[in-house]
A = this chain, B = another copy of it.
Amino acid sequence: MSLVKFVSREYKSENTIIEVGDVVFGNGKFPVIAGPCAVETENQVLSIAQSVKKAGAQIFRGGAFKPRTSPYSFQGLGKQGLHLLGKVRKETGLPIATEVLDVENFDLVEEYADLIQIGTRNMQNFSLLRRAGRSKKPILLKRGMSATLEEWLMAAEYIMQEGNKNIILCERGIRTFVKHSRNTLDLSVIAAVKKESHLPVIADPSHAAGVRDQIISLAYAAAAVNADGLMIEVHNNPEKALSDGLQSLYPDQFTALMGKIHSIHAIAGS
């Protein structure tokens, strides 16, 4: 890890605290970011947002620009999606987390987002990282699907070196030989990040597992390993979701989960 500089514990020993609106990451709490994979309609996002807020989520997530394996899959609503996310914030007061796919749309996303997500496929899109480094908004940097810890921290270093110190790391599962889940959530990496870096690190069990039963378990596990928060997909109608329906929780499942997860985190983190 010798080459990591600003990101390293050696450079800064105390934990970095990051504020997204009123929500704080890195201070020992366990904020939850929830919402659908993709923004689809005004009704959909408002309904989900009200539901997850009621259950205790503190940030709303939803994709307006979607990175899809196939060019023939739904690519997101783009600017219109951002506009709907703006409405969600206005109606619910929840800060918005949404993904940026490229430098071209960075200004636009930056205008609407409270937390700008750089996804797993872009973890080593260095131009995008540098642009994020010049943003005033906090960045949620997902781990690449087959990134080592060092490569991930180096990606954060690209951002930090340009001046933006507000980075939240997010573990979302790594690619393995396993067939019973989409990816394998690497929960060891939470302790490993905390040892090497002062940045907060959260977990996203939805993309890791891709299977509903497993996601709920892994969400509890993320709390148990003392991650600094959670990002999770919730949809009011998963069967009809335009993307990732199979891995979205029903609102009731999310509410049940929220009834337990902070207790687990409180025990593990004490």
Which residues of A are in contact with B by a Cβ distance under 8 Å? 3, 5, 67-73, 101-104, 121-122, 124-128, 145-146, 148-151, 154, 157-158, 161, 174-181, 184-192, 195, 208-209, 211, 213-214, 217-218, 220-226, 260, 263-264, 267-268, 270
Q: Which residues of B contact A157 (CB under 8 A)?
A: 70-72
- Interface contacts beyond A146-B177, A191-B217, A264-B268: sample of 5 additional A-B pairs, CB < 8 Å, sorted by A: A178-B186, A184-B184, A187-B187, A192-B211, A264-B264
A180-B187 contact, Cβ under 8 Å, with A220-B268, A221-B221: no
Q: Which residues of B contact A208 (CB under 8 A)?
A: 188
Does B146 contact A71, Cβ atoms closer than 8 Å?
no
- Taken together, the copies of this chain in the complex come to 4
A-B contact pairs, 8 of them (CB 8 A): A67-B124, A68-B126, A71-B161, A148-B179, A187-B217, A192-B214, A217-B226, A264-B264
Q: How far is the CA of A71 from the CA of B151 in the complex (A)?
A: 11
Does A190 contact B176, Cβ atoms closer than 8 Å?
no
- A-B CB proximity, top 9 nearest: A146-B146, A224-B224, A220-B224, A102-B127, A221-B221, A121-B124, A217-B225, A181-B188, A180-B192
Q: Which residues of B contact A68 (CB under 8 A)?
A: 126
Q: Which residues of B contact A214 (CB under 8 A)?
A: 188, 191-192
Other-chain contact of A121, B3, B125, B174, B175 (Cβ < 8 Å):
B125
Q: How far is the CA of A221 from the CA of B208 in the complex (A)?
A: 15
Q: Which residues of B contact A67 (CB under 8 A)?
A: 124, 126
Residue of B nearest to A72 (CB): B3
Does B188 contact A149, Cβ atoms closer than 8 Å?
no
Does A154 contact B187, Cβ atoms closer than 8 Å?
no
Q: How far is the CA of A224 from the CA of B265 in the complex (A)?
A: 10
A254 to chain B, nearest CB (A): 16
Q: How far is the CA of A202 from the CA of B188 in the complex (A)?
A: 17
A105 to chain B, nearest CB (A): 8
Q: How far is the CA of A33 from the CA of B68 in the complex (A)?
A: 31
Residue of B nearest to A102 (CB): B127
Does B176 contact A184, Cβ atoms closer than 8 Å?
yes
Query: Which of the listed residues A126, A186, A222 has the most CB atoms from chain B within 10 Å of its own CB?
Result: A126
